[in-house]
Structure 1
Amino acid sequence: MRFPVPLTSGRLVRRYKRFLADCLLDSGEAVIAHVANSGSMLGLATPGSRVYLARSSDPKRKLAWSWQLVEAGGALVGIDTGLSNRIVAEAIAEGRIPELVGYETLRREVPYGARSRVDMLLEGEGRPHCYVEVKSVTLSRRLGVAEFPDAVTARGAKHLAELAAMVEMGARAVLLYLVQRGDCDRFELAADIDPTYAAAAQAARAVGVEMLVVRAEVTTAGIEIRSVF
């Protein structure tokens, strides 16, 4: 996934109300940026951090600027969770996730479960439907280790239960963790942050939900999946 416009660099002043950030561009201009991330962004919202923003020319947008990347621990981290499905869908279409090749169609936001929509539904003749939920991973508290979640996520636990139900009905289900930072080569569930989610993940895995972790290369030009853990 390539960014449609060149990113503009600056410094983070503060993140507030979850979806807003005050930033100071390198030009000296102060701007308010939209933050497309509902998590805690633990370790990624330190005032003074180097950030990269995208400016939209859409006059209908309330905020022209969107926060896309942050430098943390010497690595660039993609913080816009709204891009995760696009990144994964492009990688599947290009055959860069071996575990998900061979399907003829990919549909997005398909209704399933208890009034939910699955991120992606892969379909192919002679194969069980494959339900794929994508989770963006940005947390790293130890060198080389990526973790999820960075906050309590009741919604995430609900998704795991729904994927488990699909497996029990004869489908294939995959929980795909997208690590949006290049400084990690291991992945763990942050059970200390959300023990309920960790237990739900263990229960889902026990009935056959697949856990797949992929790592993206993050640059100011774009974010692309490069490897599978």
Structure 2
Amino acid sequence: MQFPSPLVRGRLVRRYKRFLADVTLDSGEVVTAACPNTGSMLGLATTGAAVWLSVSQSPTRKYAHTWELVEADLGAGPTLVGINTSHPNRIVAEAIAAGHIPELADYAALRREVRYGLASRIDILLEDPAKGLAYVEIKNVHLSRTAGLAEFPDSVTERGVKHLTELAAMVAAGHRAVMLYLIQRADAERFTFAEDIDPRYVAAFHSARAAGVEAIAYTCALSPEEISLARPVPIRF
């Protein structure tokens, strides 16, 4: 996924009201940017952190800038982390179309945001006359508290529990269901669950796995120009 124009760099002043962030650009200008992330952003909203913003030319936008990337360092060197939770579906769809996710290859059609379950929408529905249907739910991952280890979730997610339950129902109905954790950071070598943050989600995940829901995790390569799928990492159940 390429950004429509190069991102602008600055330093984070503060994140507030969940959806806003003040940033001092390298030019010295202070701007208010939209923060497209509903989670806690634990460890990623530190005052003074280097951040990158996209800039919209739309005259109807209240805030022209959107926070996209932040630089983080857990002691093994700095890495870029993507915080925009609206990007993972597009990144994964592009990777599937390019054949970069072997677990989800060779389906005849791909549709996004298809209604299913109890008033929900599946992120990606794969369809094939021979293979049947595959329901793919995508979760954005950016939390890391130990070098090399990515974790999910970074806050309590009732919605995430609901999605796991509905994926299990799709398996019971005879379809394939896949939980894909997209890690928007390049320093992850493995993935696990933050049970101390949301034990209910972890319990729901194990129940879904027992019901036949599959789980895979991939890292991303990030730059101020683009974000793309990088490589699979093992999940520590």
Root mean square deviation, CA, Å: 0.6
Which residue of structure 2 lines up, in the alignment, with residue 112 of structure 1?
A: 116
* TM-fit CA distance, 1:34: 0.4
User: Which structure 1 residue ranges, 4+ long, deviate > 6 Å from structure 2?
Assistant: none
Which residue of structure 2 lines up, in the alignment, with residue 130 of structure 1?
A: 134
Runs of 5+ unmatched residues, structure 1: none
Which residue of structure 1 lines up, in the alignment, with residue 166 of structure 2?
A: 162
CA offset digits 1:169-221 (Å, max 9, x no partner): 00000010001001110100111100000000000000110011011111111
- Give the secondary-structure state (helix, strand or coil) at the position aligned to 1:129: strand
Q: Which residue among 202, 212, 234 is the counterpart of 1:208?
A: 212
* TM-fit CA distance, 1:128: 2.1
Runs of 5+ unmatched residues, structure 2: none
1:220 aligns to 2:228 (yes or no): no
Which residue of structure 1 lines up, in the alignment, with residue 35 of structure 2?
A: 35
Which residue of structure 1 lines up, in the alignment, with residue 176 of structure 2?
A: 172
Give matches, 1:1-229, under 5 Å: 1-73=1-73, 74-229=78-233
- Give the secondary-structure state (helix, strand or coil) at the position aligned to 1:60: coil
The one-letter amino acid paired with 2:25 is: L
* TM-fit CA distance, 1:104: 1.0
Query: What's the TM-score once normalised by structure 2's chain length?
Result: 0.96
Q: How many residues align?
A: 229
CA offset digits 1:11-62 (Å, max 9, x no partner): 0000001110000000000100001111000000001000000100011111
> How far, CA to CA, are the matches of 1:168 and 1:218 in structure 2?
37
Percent sequence identity is 59
Query: What's the TM-score once normalised by structure 1's chain length?
Result: 0.99
- Give the secondary-structure state (helix, strand or coil) at the position aligned to 2:87: helix
The one-letter amino acid paired with 1:185 is: E
Task: State whether residues 36 and 67 of structure 1, in contact with CA within 8 Å, keep that contact through their aligned partners in structure 2.
Answer: yes
